[in-house]
Each structure stands twice: as C-alpha cells, then as structure tokens.
Structure 1
Amino acid sequence: MRIVFAGTPEFARQALQALMAAGHDIPLVLTQPDRPAGRGLKLMPSAVKQAALETSVPVLQPHSLKLDGKYPDEAAAARQALLDAAPDAMVVAAYGLILPRWVLDLPRHGCLNIHASLLPRWRGAAPIQRAIDAGDAETGITIMQMDEGLDTGNMLLRRTLPITPEHTAASLHDDLAALGAQAIVEALRRLEDGSLTGTPQDAAVATYAAKLEKSEAPLDFTQPAEALARRVRAFNPFPGATAALSGLDGPVKVWKAVALAQPAKGRPGEVESASADGIDIAAADGVLRILELQKAGGKRQAAATFIQGWQPF
C-alpha cells in the first residue's frame, strides 16, 4: 500500500522500519521539528527523521497542520505534499501534533493510529506509565481508526502484553514498540484484503492517561509500599521518583525499589535500616526497599555503594 507515516520518537521509528520492511511504499514522512538536546542544546532530528533520511524518504516537519492556525504556510505546504503523495492510508505513531479534519479525510482509508494501551483504557499522553502505576496486569497495542477525539476512534486490532513486576516504563516501552510494529503490519495486510473491521469503544469505561508532571515525582510514604514500588517503575526514566533522605541536600532519584512483605516499624518515611541489601523505608502498610538511587549531580549507584558515604543514623 501507499502509506504516509507520521511519528516522532523511537516508538514510532520501529513502526516505520517495519512498514518499509513489509514492502509498503512510503512517499512521505511527517515528524516534529528538530529539538535542542544534549549539553550543547544542539538541534537534533527525531528518531523517525533519522530513519527516513537513511532510506531517502522525503521528510516534512511542520509546526502545525492547522490551515487557520499559527503556521498557515507550513500547513498549506504539508497539505499539498499529502495531496501529491496520494496515500491509501496514513499511519500515525506518537506524532505529537493534532490532526485536523482535512488530514483525517485525505487518505483513501483514513488515518490509523498505533496506541500503546488496550483502549478504551488509558487514552491520552502517558498510557505506558499510567498502566504500570495503576497496577494493571496487562497492557498492549490498539490500532485505531482516528477521528477528531482524543483516542476515541474505532478499534481495528488489539494485541495484549502482560506487565511483569520487572517492567519499568523504559522496558515496557521497548516491548510495546516492537509489538506495535508487528500489529500495524498485520492491520495493513488485513486492510488490503478487506478483513479489518472497526469496533466502537465503550466510552463508559474509558480512562485518561494524563501527561506526566515533575510534581508527581516525590514518593508519598503514606501510600502502600506496593504502590510506591510501582511508582518507581512507572517513572523510570522520566520524571524519576524521588525521596528525601536525612543528611542530604535535596532529594535522591530512586531508580529501583521493591516492596517487602513485612510490617513497618517506624512512621511513614522513616529509614528503618541501611545495608548492602538496600535502604528500607517505612510506608503506610509495609516497607519500601530502595536498591538503586542517585544524588543530585551524582551517578546512579547500588544502595550498597551509596551507603558508604551516607550515615542515616
């Protein structure tokens, strides 16, 4: 099929490469404008742009696709490029721009979105992190027919993936990116042979995955230890869960922690012990053991190394 692809980060790059490997014709790629990154804040291309340039696929990077918005010239140029591309469908994965109605209607088969959750659960910006944080047993990929709502379109294909106790947001992202790449190739194959049908979402059971905020990073030790351990995994690597430890200037970033099946002895937030096994902190109904952490400006360390320069008692 003739596919225009719209996406930006690594999650989307894997889908683009899978579509290319499957033999689809990709006449055009849309991605976000280059952004400053690194210590020197040099402008860096997105993962999708890099993949497109490696295979000489034309790339457009409009700031907006709204013809009556702040960047009408860029939107008009994108519209003409899309018309010239004459796509059978547009595939969208973590693009980052709102698609106005003219974009949704332009491809013959409309726009298909690769969403990293089992819709209608976790519509929105941070479905991977919110699924871990909520203690969901599974998540997955939904290929969805896009409409003008926020992840509200008909579901075309769903593939599930268990969430393990070892999953962080980073590792679950990688697993879902691979699954999403497989799923969109299957969805387009079925779209070609006419076996792909849409199922409306049940709005009554929909949940919203709000964007992650740095203000959510501090761990609240009045919460259960299991909830705190999930928060650490859900916020790894961004925004990073944090905890205040006595004798230190500023909070530490908690990279790895587990909930212990034992009652807390102290008040929530008190350090109960610090050893090579970890730093044990009292929570609402148990103990959170911190295994890896990082001081501001320091390196990520195992608790056994960290405590050599820290005296909590």
Structure 2
Amino acid sequence: MIRWMHHQDAEGKKYDWTKAPGQYKREFIQQASGRVEWDVKSSMSDEYAQARDAAAKSKNNKKLYDKAVFATDKDLQEYDYPIKSGYYFNPAGSYTFTVTTEVFKKEKPEDMTGDHKDLLNSLIKSFRYETDLMFINNKKIPVNINNEELTRKGGGFERKPGVLSVKDNKSVNATPLITVLDRSKDSSRYKKEVEEIKHTDKRGGDSDTFWKMVLEGYSESYTLGKYTNYNYREYVEAGQHMYKITETSTITIVVNAGNVPLYTHANMPNGKYYIKVWFDQVDMTVGGHAYKGLKTLQGIENLDSIHINVVGSMFDDLNN
C-alpha cells in the first residue's frame, strides 16, 4: 500500500503532496464462503408410484410395473411396498445438490477454480445408495446390491447390506448404476461471475469496502481517527488486482438411469428390508483451500428412504 505525504509551511499550508511507500504490508482478509443446497429430484416413492398404484388396484398390465413388481394380494395392501421374492425390483431415484462458492483471487481464473472443483468432487464422492435386499445374478448366485455373494442361513440367506457410490457403482452383474449429470452433460449446470474489487491510489479517491477494512484511516477498519486527527490515510498501490469469483454448480445423481432390471432372489427370507440414500461426511482438509479449517462437512444421514416388505415368493403365484 502507499500513503500521501506533504510539506507544510509556517502558516500550516500543505504543499507538494507525494506518494510514499507504506510502512507496513496489509493483507486482504475477506473470507471465502460456500453453500450447499440439497433436493430430492425424484424420490423412490415417486419412482415406484405407478407400479404400486397398479398393484393396489390389481391391474394385470405388465407395462404399468415399470420399475418393480408389487404384490396385488388384498391382504398385503396394508404394507407400503409389499413384494414377493423372485421378481424384478429396479433401483431408482434422482438427487440434486447445488454448490455456490465465493472466493477471492489475485488473478482471473480461466476455468473453474480449484476451490470449487475440489469441493464439488468431494460432495459427489460422498453419495451413497444402500439396501439390504437380496438379488440373484446371471450365474444364479445370491448376492447383495454390490454383487457380493451371500451366506446361506436356514432356508434362505444371511443379510449383507450393500452400498453403491459414484466411485464404486458396479452392482449386480457388474452393472454400473450411478450416473452423474454435471456441466459436461449440460453447460448450464455451471455458472461463474467475476467481479474486481476496485481500489485507487489517488489522494481522496474511493476504494471498495473490502480494502478499507484492512487499511488505516477509514471507519471500516475502526481507524478513522488517524485521518481526522493526523490526516493519515492508506491506499492500495496501483497495478494490484483482487477478484471475487462466485461459482454455482448443479449436480444431479441418478440411480439406474437405464432402468436396468435386477431380480430379487426367490429364497430371500420374509421380512422388512430397507433402501436409503444418504451423503457421507466430507473431509474438508484435502487440498490447500481456505475451507480446510472446517475439517469435516456433515453429510445427510437420510435424504430418501423406503421400506420393502417381503411376504412369500414368486413360487406362491406359480403354484396358484
């Protein structure tokens, strides 16, 4: 920064105002910020509504059972989602989050800032789809949602909950089930605004409030007395730049975008099973960004969930 110095004659008249280097360096301290907003774009209850309604009305039209085969038995309609084992039950759901970050840089970024990109990737990696339903793969092996073989227990199999993520998205028969929609699919999913934080080194000139907060001689830095009492005020030396970069990204994570059918195992024991979508905690210390001091960003324990009641199997229908 610089300051303006002057001579003063015997009568107190000031003359020969001259720029002079400041005695101290001033650090721009405006903090970065970030905001995450979550939205269930299409919940599991939405995805299975058509098939569930068809079952409740005992409709015999296979096209209506687009994502799952729910039981039509009247005595099973007390359950929200009743199924018989052995039929297909396709994972489904669509979830969106919007990330807005505000950072300050000395240079204009040509593309997405590293701060925004790393936070975005961390959130994408934290997505989880979890269920303890039991499936059967093409090799006739009983598996969980991760295609891991199940252990026999009594007349059925032992439960082994499985979790899919963007990184580990291979499901039954090694089928990838998690799709990420980002700016690579749609450029409107990313927006960036760059605003220069203005300043001047002209005596009596005005600078942005953010600069005044770190310079002496202004009310914004609580040092106005330096100016009123001693006519001392600091300015930012010309040739330096500071930009506020505001970035917004909208990410949608789709479960089973291709509606690939997964078949439950016909010997899956009766009982209540669960499906839930959640976001894990995010380690904020990865990378050298300003937000690393936050250490951990809390996720969402239960963004979406349903319970499936298994009552009987497909063999009951075949025998009837």
Same-fold status (TM-score > 0.5): no
TM norm structure 1: 0.21
TM norm structure 2: 0.21
Greater RCO (CA < 8 Å, at least 6 residues apart):
2
Structure with a larger share of its residues in helix: 1
Larger-Rg structure: 2
Structure with a larger share of its residues in strand: 2
